[in-house]
Amino acid sequence: MATHKIFNDPVYGFVTVPYGIIFDLIEHPYFQRLRRIKQVSLTHYVYPGALHTRFHHALGAFHLMTQSIDVLRAKGADISDEEALAVQIAILLHDIGHGPFSHTLENTLINVHHERLSELFMAKLNEEFNGALSLAIHIFEDTYPKKFLHQLVSSQLDMDRMDYLTRDSFFTGVYEGVIGYDRIIKMLAVHNGELVVEEKGIYSIEKFLIARRLMYWQVYLHKTVLSAEQMMIQTLRRAKQIVKAGENLYCPPNLELFIHHDFSEKDFLSRRDELLEAFAGLDDSDISAALKGWMKSNDRVLAFLATGLINRRLFKLELVDQPFDLSYQQIIQEKIKLWWQGPSSETEFLLLSGQESNHAYNPQSGEIKMLFKNGEAKPMSELLEPGMHFRNVTKYYLAYPKM
């Protein structure tokens, strides 16, 4: 009798999933929904191959977690079978709360962070599986005594980051993001209850940090990707504005509830089962269908934005190191008014400004520690040369139609 299922992953090869609760969770509709949510949102507008999903990522992170457990156990780390299963469940479900197009619409459709939604989904699944996820939830929420188990799920060197850097660089073709994930995992150890990396892995960690910084500015915060994401946010914002004004607007059934209401975390807590079920029916295809319908909307702004997204007529986006002068923004604003020939209530959707920041390594978010042969564990902040690793890089953007 078969004891496991094999998935053929383009990044790691064969990924083995044991039958039992892990396989049953993967088969659950909440998890299957992740097949319909793109891992890197609208990045395929720049890198056409970036069409992989949160489903791929969750399986990949699970695979790396399985390898990490084997390595740590071989080095004498105290991990029971129950704890091993729980930390595998925690990483498998860590992104189950993501909505359509991942991070892009996180504060637009609803005002609840995806990690909080993941916690609510896990609590709901725990009830369905008769408490079998309780330990996984403790690890996920960092309320379990063995800190290193949570660090494997969420830290500056977790299986989530190791998979998404490896996977996203693979599917985008941006090889600056390639990391030595296999070597890093082989160098993992547990010291005084915390996850550490043996000193032989220090250059692999430095490469990991450099790769993360490069991937953010070359992929995740690429100016064309930012333009598309900001256009989508404004499109949904305009759709909500139209509905609030009492006008009829075409919406796919799964999206309609979220266009007509602004749900908060308080709403999800008081109406958990109802809203989770509604949210679980929502994915990228609902947004795409809405955009195609809105191309023919009577509202000029909505039709313009939706058409731009569907046909990749994206806003020009300027990305600079210093805030834009107010006088320059006013010049652009006047040009838009002359070109658009519409009221200011419409042109506010056509001039988008903001900022994006990225830390390659932030010691305040929890240190990566290196374990030396003398038994001393040192934080990376003491070992890295000062420079780009620590600097919080902020860039400012201004986006507007190509008039």
pLDDT digits (tens, 9 = 90+) for 213-241: 999 999 999 999 999 999 999 999 999 99
Q: Where does CATH 1.10.3210.10 sit in the chain? A: 4-220+367-389
Q: What local confidence, expressed as pLDDT, does residue 1 receive?
A: 72
Q: Is residue 106 very low, low, confident or very high in pLDDT (cuts 50, 70, 90)?
A: confident
pLDDT digits (tens, 9 = 90+) for 169-180: 999 999 999 999
Distances (CA, A) of 314 to 230, 245, 399: 10, 27, 9
First-residue to last-residue Cα distance in the chain? 65
Instruction: Name the CATH topology of 223-356.
Output: Growth Hormone; Chain: A; (1.20.1250)
Question: Quick one: pLDDT band at residue 358, thresholds 50, 70, 90?
Answer: confident
CATH hierarchy code of domain 4-220+367-389? 1.10.3210.10
Domain ranges in the chain with CATH number 1.20.1250.30: 223-356
DSSP symbol at 249: -
Beta bridge partners of 194: 191
Residue 71's Cβ-count burial label (10 Å; 0-12, 13-18, 19+) is middle
Structure tokens at 242: 């139209």
Residue 293 CB partners (closer than 8 Å, separation 6+): 250, 251, 252, 306
Q: What are the DSSP calls for 73-122, one per residue?
A: HHTT----HHHHHHHHHHHHTTTTT--TTTTTTTTTT-BS-HHHHHHHHH
Distance between CA 208 and CA 59 in Å, rounded?
21
Contact at 8 Å (CB) between 247 and 301? no
Q: What is the pLDDT of residues 48-80, one digit of tens each?
A: 999 999 999 999 999 999 999 999 999 999 999
